[in-house]
Amino acid sequence: MAVGVFDSGLGGLTVLAALQDRLPQVPFVYLGDNANTPYGVRTPDDIYTLTCAGVERLWAAGCDLVILACNTASAAALKRMQETWIPADKRVLGVFVPLIEALTERQWGDNSPPREVAVKHVALFATPATVASRAFQRELAFRAIGVDVEAQPCGGVVDAIEAGDEILAEALVKSHVEALMRRMPAPEAAILGCTHYPLLEAVFQKALGPEVAVFSQPRLVAAALDDYLARRPEFLGAGQMTQYLTTGDPESVSAHATQFLRRGVRFTSA
C-alpha cells in the first residue's frame, strides 16, 4: 500500500517527514533525481521529461499514487502530465494547491468564485522555473482577488543545499530576502515555494522578521494527502516497504540528507 514521493533531489524529504508523521501506517517510496538536480534552471520540456521518468520509476515500485514533492515539477509539468499522460488507474498530485488553500483560508474542494482574503501582500520565494511559470499566481487567481504577489527567483539555493554547503545556502537566502524586500518592504505572508527551502525555514523567518507569517508546505501537503486517501483508499499501491531511492550517488546523497535532516537516512540506487 505504498505512496510515491518524488523530488529533483533532497527537498522532497521535508514533505516526506511530514507525511510520515501524519500517516505512520503508510509505507512511502521516495525518489530523488539527484543526478539531474537542480530542475529550477531547466526548460519546461526538460522538467516534463525528467518528471515523467521519475514517476514511472515509482509506479514500478508499486506506488499508484505519486506526490510531486517539488514545486518546480508541479508548476512546469503536472498540468501537461494530467492532461496527456497519466493512465486512469494512476494518480499524480502536486504541492501547490494545498498551500494556496491555506493562504486563502479555503476548505478542500471549495469551488466558489474568487473572493477577497485577509493577506494583501505576499512574498513568493521559488526556483527560477517556478517563478517563470506563474503557476502560483494562476492558482491564486482562481481563489482570491486583490492579492499582490512579489516573486523572488532564488538562484543558487538548491545547488548549495545539494552540495551540502549550508553557509552558502544561508547567505543566498539572506540576499534573496533582501532583494525581495527592496521591492515589497512589508509583506504580510511569505511562501516557501520550493520544498528545499523548509530546510532553511529559520533563516527565511529571521531575514523576513517575526511579523511575517511564513507558509511552508510539508504539513499542509500531509493534511491534504490524509484527506485524499480517506476519500480514495484504492490509490494506495501494492508496494509494502519504505525505501529511499536516488538517481545520484547513494553515498553522498545519504550524507547530505543526514546533514540537513539531522537524522540518519540511507539511500540506494534507483
Residues that bind ligand DGL (CB under 6 A): 7-9, 11, 37-40, 70-72, 127, 130, 158, 194-196
Task: Tell me the C-alpha to C-alpha distance, in Å, between residue 237 and each of 13, 29, 107, 212, 269.
Answer: 20, 11, 27, 40, 21
Active-site choice (52, 63, 154, 194): 194
**CB of 238: closest distance to ligand DGL in angstroms?**
27
Q: Judge contact between 72 and 98, C-beta under 8 A.
A: no
Instruction: Give the distance from CA 186 to its chain's centroid.
Output: 25
Closer residue to ligand DGL (CB): 195 or 247: 195
Closer residue to ligand DGL (CB): 27 or 40: 40
**CB of 32: closest distance to ligand DGL in angstroms?**
9
**CB of 23: closest distance to ligand DGL in angstroms?**
21
Q: Judge contact between 220 and 105, C-beta under 8 A.
A: no
Q: How many angstroms separate the CA atoms of 196 and 190, rounded?
A: 15
Candidates 116, 74, 119, 80; CA nearest to 98 is: 74
Element containing residue 98 per DSSP (H, E): helix 96-103
154 is catalytic: no
Active-site choice (52, 63, 70, 154): 70
Instruction: Give the distance from CA 149 to its chain's centroid.
Output: 19
Closer residue to ligand DGL (CB): 38 or 237: 38
**CB of 12: closest distance to ligand DGL in angstroms?**
6
Catalogue the active-site residues.
Answer: 70, 194
